[in-house]
Amino acid sequence: MNKHIPVQRLESFEAAHSNATHTKNRSNDSQIHTRSFTGLFRTLRMVGAGLLFLLFFGTVWLNWDGRQAVLWDLSESKFHIFGATFWPQDFILLSALLIIAAFGLFAITVFAGRVWCGYTCPQSTWTWLFMWCEKITEGDRNQRVKLQAAPWRLNKIARRTAKHLLWLAISVLTALTFVGYFTPIRPLAIELITLEIAGISLFWVLFFTGATYLNAGWLREAVCMHMCPYARFQSVMFDKDTLAISYDVARGENRGPRKRGVEPAKAGLGDCIDCTMCVQVCPTGIDIRDGLQMECIGCAACVDACDSVMDKMGYARGLVRYTSEHELQGGKTHWLRPRLMGYAVVLVLMIGALVVALNQRSMVSLDVIKDRGLFRENSQGQIENIYSLKIINKTQEPQHYRVSLQQGDEFQLQGKTELTLAPGEIVEVPVSVALLAERPKSSSQTIEFVVTDTDEPSVRSVAKSRFVAPLNR
């Protein structure tokens, strides 16, 4: 048995309580209807979601030097981020960024559980937005439950239609924005509004519209519980000092209703009045009082709901709270611990390495492709190899370049060696390399091509290739 997870939590991860808890917040058709609530963590989540929506929906409309500020231009195979342009040769930096994001997720999970899921995951964020649409069109939880059971009459049809129209509008806007990061957003929006959109752009807009509508509107908690792998391996990353949303069993039991002002101890009860508010606000429909469960996304909706009930009853807050297993057992949370420090150190080192790599990234790219022919003899009796040089100006200004060989004494470069490239221009230059010596040192030698910015010699790129020659002529 995992020593970091108590028996109650381990049983919860194995879904021992799933069937029992889910039914408490579901209508007869197994749909979860969440109750409205207020509180600190809801406010934090709304502020965070607002900033994320502003970043996602707003950034795509920004311009920079006459072009879209952030654009992954697939047709030109380049990625613009404000003043910087990245090319396929720079994708190693994207890999590094993804690895950093993964280690950041590991670190935050060890420290505070699934706060990513509860506050910033797109699935959770869009689900909360769709639930808000549900509330303004169909009413709060009790009204929605009644509407669900009601026959299909004009009122129900009108409310359901309004809800689905809002869902579709948000889905279309989401899809348009997402595709707009890969295709210029302004002409794409005009094509969509005038219904002139077609081809691959239409396909992806429809695809992401359907994906958003289905995931946030219909699947919801099923994505978190059954499709997302993060829920499956989170228990491996938790330890006894991980902050997770937990119910204080020692303080809350025995549960039972009572009048306001009644001292729990005198009534032989704990602080939990068994109001099930924590279940009614849960977007995945679980009962946090059954222990930490795989389905819990760490959104703290149950914390806000329970705190509001404790306030009304005149009890101290924190019956359900972010806490660690050590603290629940009467100990103290250890903030500095080996695994967390290890993730933090690796994260800092990788971020530093990425910053250095970005700072030292060459603004000119050189690729060399050798001709399929092995070699040939020129008019002067010298052995020649033919190459194609692909040069990319990664800057946003015209640049002048010179092409040369590192082995200048042994070989002679023939062809166009002085080039002027426009911003972002890619050129392919055919050149030949002749062997100056009468006899080669070996049948295959390494040569290095160098492209240098004539105005700033420190900006250069080197690419290796092979020179092939016969040993016996």
**Mind listing the pLDDT tens digit for each residue in 146-160?**
999 999 999 999 999
CA distance 62 to 91: 24
CA distance 289 to 305: 13
How long is the chain? 473
pLDDT at 165: 98
Contact 215, 126 (CB under 8 A): yes
Overall average pLDDT of the 301-306 stretch: 97
Under DSSP, is residue 78 helix (H, G, I), strand (E, B) or coil?
A: strand
Q: Which residue has the tokens 């020593």?
A: 3
Q: Which structural domains are found in the chain, ordered by start?
A: 364-468 (2.60.40.10)
Going by pLDDT thresholds of 50, 70 and 90, the confidence category of residue 26 is low
pLDDT higher than threshold 50 for residue 41: yes
Question: What's at 413, amino acid-wise?
Answer: L
**Mind listing the pLDDT tens digit for each residue in 91-123?**
888 889 999 999 999 999 999 999 999 999 999
Contact 463, 369 (CB under 8 A): no
Overall average pLDDT of the 345-352 stretch: 94
CA distance 175 to 60: 12
Contact 469, 429 (CB under 8 A): no
Contact 357, 93 (CB under 8 A): yes
Going by pLDDT thresholds of 50, 70 and 90, the confidence category of residue 473 is low
Between 296 and 29, name the one with better pLDDT.
296
Contact 137, 170 (CB under 8 A): no
Laid out side by side, the sheet with 460-468 consists of 418-421, 399-405, 444-453, 460-468
Element (H, E) at 125: helix 122-138
How much is the pTM?
A: 0.83
**Mind listing the pLDDT tens digit for each residue in 60-91?**
999 998 899 999 988 888 899 998 888 887 88
CA distance 47 to 52: 9
Q: Which residues are within 8 A (CB) of 372 and not within 5 positions of it... i.e. 6 or more apart?
A: none
Going by pLDDT thresholds of 50, 70 and 90, the confidence category of residue 216 is very high
CA distance 415 to 418: 9
